[in-house]
Amino acid sequence: MLQGWLQIGLTLLLVVLITPVLGRYIARVFLAQKTRLDPLLAPVDRLLLRLIGVRSQDGMTGWQYARAIFYSNFAMALLLAILLFNQSWLPFNPTRLTSPTWDTNLHTIISFITNTNQQHYSGEVTYSYFSQFAGLGYMMFVSAATGIAVGIAFIRGLTGRPLGNFYHDLILAITRILLPLSILGAIALIAAGIPETLAGPVLVPTLEDPAVQQAIARGPVAHFEIIKELGENGGGFFAINSAHPFENPNGFTNLLETVAILAIPSALIYTYGIFANNLKQAWLVYCIPFALLVGFVVVSAIAEYNGNPIVNTALGVNQAVNLEGKEVRFGWAQSALFAVVTTGSMCGAVTGMVDSMMPLSGLVTLSNLFLQIVFGGQGTGTAYLFAYLILAVFVTGLMVGRTPEFLGRKIEKQEVVLASFLILLVHPIAILLPSAIALVFPDFQGISNPGFHGLSQVIYEYASAAANNGSGLEGLADSQPSPIALATGAIPSPTALWWNLSTSLSLLAGRYIPITALLLLADSLSRKQPVPATAGTLHTNTTLFTGITAGVIVILGALTFFPVLALGPIAEAFQLTQGMR
């Protein structure tokens, strides 16, 4: 037990130590300060900007920044659609896969362009090598870079600077941050045993009968794996994601992947501190998601260590670790840590079945998807955190009778409306409305576990889509037959069609509506004239205000979804306790 807690503690400590180093580097990149990569990559940046007809000094308003995101993402989605629908005659397709159903392609395109990577398919039997590394892998870079760009634009607006130029920010996010770190990470993963090959599946005789051969899938996995984690994408090259030994073969790769997931979103808070010239406040704000992360990990780890009480009673023991649905290579501690990290950061990669975890772990993972700030999505999670901060400023100002101000700028009606719209309206609607429809019409559900857990399966699927996370409790009939199965006469499923289309709407709503609101909020703040501090100014760089912000996050974020938590994982936990008696 002690070893498991030590592993968790050392992993989180490593994340904290990396935060100021990477945060300072990101700040230098976007403050146009010199870095060691400039001599090599600055000409590349200028060439790319010249090719698309953009000058880096051309600033954008909030609406212009948002429109640039829409236009570029739509063009990228069209390119990906052309590739996926025509993969049968494109190169690097050793198993000669044809295109999957149109709804699978549509859902995949929307899922990857929104940095969600929710997968209603098995990668090794659905998409070719070329589709995965040239199509989906490309989307992992640009969608993550889009999130970083939005986060930087929001920080600029928050600190009174112009928002900048989206295309310039997008290129910098790729060439200065994602690409260099991915190259280093991919080399480390290859050295640790993850394959990187264009050769087809290898045939080996089985242990049961040497005359029978088994096909073992492989491919260009290492470079795909690192951007999957680093960019908080989460989509696996193989169906079982990071539980596959070719994606995550040992303890070192598991540590590297866990740290990579948290590296950029945690560093961006430190980057804010440099932009605002207020590192004290940055560390105080950092403590909010970090404290929630630690608390959630403790709850989940204890639940998984103690195991299922019904199983324990049947075995005649007081405690037996819950290893069902988990990779025994990583055990209860690393499985719990990875599950909390991947749902808190909106990555969505998994090292085991979230569906097999204890109800309290389900409560934790769902809460992460509802809050979206532990540490949240790539770039957007940081912006969400400060949206909560703005609401806390407003609420506290009302309680103590002081003018709501943040960084010397008044928080007025427009800022409160936009922040409230983000936190209290868009996310709940994108989750609860389609969930209600799916639960009302049984033909849509395809639930494998009726009851409290079945409710959690439905809610989790839409929460994962709306939060741009991508993980799933699974157990839903949300996958169409693979191209191989379709070739043998399998019939597409209307239930899978429902899940593909309905979650696609949640994916789009959860990505682009909040991005627009965040950019408009940042634009509004950037245009405000700073006011001098007075005796009535509410200071936000204090421990007290940080605690108030944490309370606002819990009250406004968690309680919005408390009814579904009570009817899902909480009720399931009570059910297990009652079944033990």
- Over 80: is that where the pLDDT of 63 sits? yes
Question: Could you give the CA distance from residue 470 to residue 526 in angstroms, rounded to a whole number?
Answer: 33
pLDDT of residue 211: 85
Question: Could you give the CA distance from residue 34 to residue 15 in angstroms, rounded to a whole number?
Answer: 25
pLDDT of residue 537: 66
Average pLDDT, the chain: 90
Which candidate, 309, 316, 307, places its Cα nearest to that of 576?
Answer: 309
Q: What are the residue boundaries of the structural domains of the chain, listed by start?
A: 2-203+213-580
Question: Could you give the CA distance from residue 426 to residue 387 in angstroms, rounded to a whole number?
Answer: 14
Give the model confidence (pLDDT) of 83-131 as tens digits.
999 999 999 999 999 999 999 999 999 999 999 999 999 999 999 999 9
pLDDT tier, 534 (very low <50, low <70, confident <90, very high otherwise): low
- pTM attached to this predicted model: 0.94
Burial class, 399, CB count within 10 angstroms (exposed 0-12 / middle 13-18 / buried 19+) = exposed
pLDDT tier, 577 (very low <50, low <70, confident <90, very high otherwise): confident
Percent helix / strand / coil, the chain, rounded to 5? 65, 5, 30
State the average pLDDT over residues 524-545: 77
pLDDT of residue 508: 96
- Over 70: is that where the pLDDT of 421 sits? yes
pLDDT tier, 412 (very low <50, low <70, confident <90, very high otherwise): confident
**3-class SS letters over 176-222:** HHHHHHHHHHHHHHHHCCCCECCCCCEEEECCCCCCCEEEECCCECH
pLDDT of residue 471: 92
Question: Could you give the CA distance from residue 360 to residue 450 in angstroms, rounded to a whole number?
Answer: 18
Copy the structure tokens of residue 265. 């979103």
Copy the structure tokens of residue 147. 């999130």
pLDDT tier, 402 (very low <50, low <70, confident <90, very high otherwise): low
Question: Could you give the CA distance from residue 458 to residue 552 in angstroms, rounded to a whole number?
Answer: 27
State the average pLDDT over residues 551-565: 85
pLDDT of residue 555: 83
pLDDT of residue 404: 72
State the average pLDDT over residues 143-169: 94
Task: State the virtual CA torsion across 173, 176, 182, 185 in degrees, nearest 10.
Answer: -130
- Over 60: is that where the pLDDT of 580 sits? no
